[in-house]
């Protein structure tokens, strides 16, 4: 079979590793060099640090109250959060704070390991052939692509039988178990939110939740943002919307950096220990026929503190079609999005992200 080598040639492996190391942002940051031009935004990010004019604050939703019979006011807040922000901070979500701390601590420990240790789980085969999963950087598809100031570890968590354990870290030792449990916890929180969404739209309670069957995908993305000397010119993560259906994030407990676009301004997501940030992805915007919004967000870089986030993306079964729910289409609200297979949407997203374009725009009717 062509393309298969009996043993990787060790010289090629070493060259590949060197090449990969030279692209890791953490290595760049430690070298003390200035950010290479490929990281510099062509339209300088002048407004990056200017405070927004709005005093609007990211909504905080009590998930426990939301499910109770006297939670009507919380439901109003929840609906407004989904329609006008597309994200909210969830409290009383049921995951113990000591466990969330463990997830954050283990993730930080992983990124603080020596380069050789992390490269055992690299997303580049022989330092060259790119894989979606593993430790490294996002794919570079174009020479003129502007890069982001972060390294990441990307892993498929569900379905369980599709896990690629060869890129799941074994160091720290409890990493795999903790990620497994965090995946389960996230699934429970997701179901709670999906049911509440159906309720505020007065639909059958399981209409969203049943879309996520046993083949639904959940990916974890561990983002590590090293110190950056020029946060005025470089993004931690450039503006984007999530191509997932829904994203649940565990953010750094001390360092802010995530911002959301609201009424043409960038609003900071505050540090809020023990909460989870819930972000509507393009998938739910499509399924809700545009009632719930998938927000544009970005991460600014920081010259003084490193930052970490653990991001759980939920998408439907890759073979399943994504389209507005029938119940949400009528004469007053016609169908707003074309039907698309989930895996095609995700493939498009990786291409458009590299080009700085928004995938959802291509599916609007
Ligand atoms: C993402 C994302 C935000 C953060 O990974 O899609 O928006 O704070 N991350 O890391
Ligand atoms: Ni995002």
Name which of 146-150, 185-189, 238-242, 279-283 the model is least confident about: 146-150
pLDDT tens digits along 153-207: 999 999 999 999 999 999 999 999 999 999 999 999 999 999 999 999 999 999 9
Nearest CA-CA partner of 95 in 312, 317, 315, 313: 312
Ligand nearest to the CA of 150: 1
The sign of the dihedral angle between the CA atoms of 65, 66, 69, 74 is positive
Which residues lie with the beta carbon below 6 Å from any ligand 1 atom? Answer: 221, 223, 237, 242, 249, 251, 258, 297, 299, 309, 311
Q: Which atom of ligand 1 is least distant from the CA of 251?
A: 8
pLDDT of residue 357: 82
CA–CA dist 295, 260 (Å, integer): 7
Pocket test for ligand 1, best of 111, 223, 346 (most atoms within 8 A of CB): 223
Q: Give the residue, by CA position, lying nearest to ligand 1 atom 10.
A: 309
SS3 of residue 49 by DSSP: helix
Peptide bond into 31 cis (omega under 30): no
- Rounded to the nearest angstrom, the distance between the alpha carbon of 356 and the centre of ligand 2 is 13
Is the distance from CB of 308 to CB of 111 less than 8 angstroms? yes
**Which residue is closest in CA terms to ligand 1's atom 6?**
242
What is residue 19's predicted lDDT score, i.e. its pLDDT? 54
Ligand of minimum distance to the alpha carbon of 241: 2
User: For residue 217, which of 281, 170, 166 has the smallest C-alpha distance?
Assistant: 281
Tell me which residues have their CB within 5 A of the ion that is ligand 2. Answer: 242
Q: Phi and psi for 175 in degrees, rounded to 5? A: -55, -50
**Ligand closest to CA 302:** 1
- Least confident residue range of 32-46, 266-280, 345-359: 32-46
Q: How far is 75 from 351, CA to CA, in rounded Å? A: 37
Residues making up the chain, counted from first to last: 365
221, 238, 281: residue to mutate for ligand 1 pocket, most atoms within 8 A of CB: 221
- H or E stretch at 112: none
Please measure the distance between the N-terminal and C-terminal CA atoms of the chain and give it in whole angstroms: 45
Neighbours of 297 (CB within 10 A): 24
- Ligand 1 centroid–CA 69 distance in Å is 33
**Looking at the CA of 282, which ligand is closest?**
2
Note the pLDDT of residue 42.
61
Average pLDDT over the chain reads 88
The predicted structure's pLDDT at residue 105: 98
pLDDT band at residue 10 using 50, 70 and 90 as cut-offs = very low
| 146 pLDDT tier (thresholds 50, 70, 90) | confident
Residue 10 Cα to ligand 2 middle (Å): 37
- Protein residue closest via CA to atom 9 of ligand 1: 311
| Sheet with 307-315: strands ordered across | 60-62, 87-91, 276-280, 246-251, 307-315, 217-225, 151-158, 134-136
3-class DSSP state for residue 157?
A: strand
Mutate to test the pocket of ligand 1, among 155, 295, 296, 311 (most ligand atoms within 8 A of CB): 311
Nearest ligand 1 atom, CA 223: 10
For 287-341, what is each residue's pLDDT tens digit?
A: 999 999 999 999 999 999 999 999 999 999 999 999 999 999 999 999 999 999 9
């Amino acid at each position: 079979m062509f393309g298969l080598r009996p043993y990787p040639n060790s010289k090629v492996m070493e060259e590949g590793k060197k090449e990969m190391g030279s692209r890791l942002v953490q290595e760049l940051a430690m070298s003390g060099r200035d950010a290479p031009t490929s990281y510099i935004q062509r339209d300088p990010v002048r407004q990056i640090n200017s405070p927004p004019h709005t005093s609007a604050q990211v909504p905080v939703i009590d998930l426990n109250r939301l499910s109770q019979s006297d939670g009507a006011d919380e439901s109003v807040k929840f609906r407004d959060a989904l329609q006008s922000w597309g994200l909210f901070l969830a409290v009383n979500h049921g995951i113990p704070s000591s466990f969330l701390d463990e997830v954050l601590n283990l993730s930080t420990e992983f990124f603080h390991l020596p380069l050789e240790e992390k490269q055992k789980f690299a997303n580049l085969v022989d330092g060259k052939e790119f894989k979606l999963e593993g430790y490294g950087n996002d794919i570079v598809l174009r020479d003129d692509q502007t890069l982001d100031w972060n390294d990441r570890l990307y892993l498929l968590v569900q379905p369980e039988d599709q896990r690629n354990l060869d890129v799941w870290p074994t160091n720290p030792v409890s990493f795999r178990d903790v990620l497994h449990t965090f995946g389960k916890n996230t699934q429970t929180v997701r179901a709670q939110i999906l049911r509440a969404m159906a309720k505020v739209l007065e639909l059958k309670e399981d209409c969203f939740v049943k879309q996520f069957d046993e083949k639904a995908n959940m990916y974890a993305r561990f983002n590590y943002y090293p110190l950056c000397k020029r946060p005025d010119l470089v993004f931690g993560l450039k503006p984007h919307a999530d191509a997932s259906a829904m994203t649940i994030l565990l953010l750094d407990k001390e360092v802010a950096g995530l911002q959301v676009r609201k009424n043409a301004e960038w609003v900071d997501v505050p540090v809020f220990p023990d909460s989870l940030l819930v972000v509507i992805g393009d998938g739910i915007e499509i399924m809700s026929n545009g009632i719930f919004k998938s927000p544009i967000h970005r991460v600014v870089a920081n010259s003084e503190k490193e930052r970490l986030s653990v991001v759980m993306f939920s998408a439907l079964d890759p073979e399943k079609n994504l389209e507005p729910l029938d119940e949400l289409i009528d004469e007053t609200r016609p169908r707003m999005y074309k039907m698309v297979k989930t895996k095609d949407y995700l493939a498009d997203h990786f291409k458009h992200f590299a080009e700085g374009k928004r995938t959802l725009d291509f599916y609007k009717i």
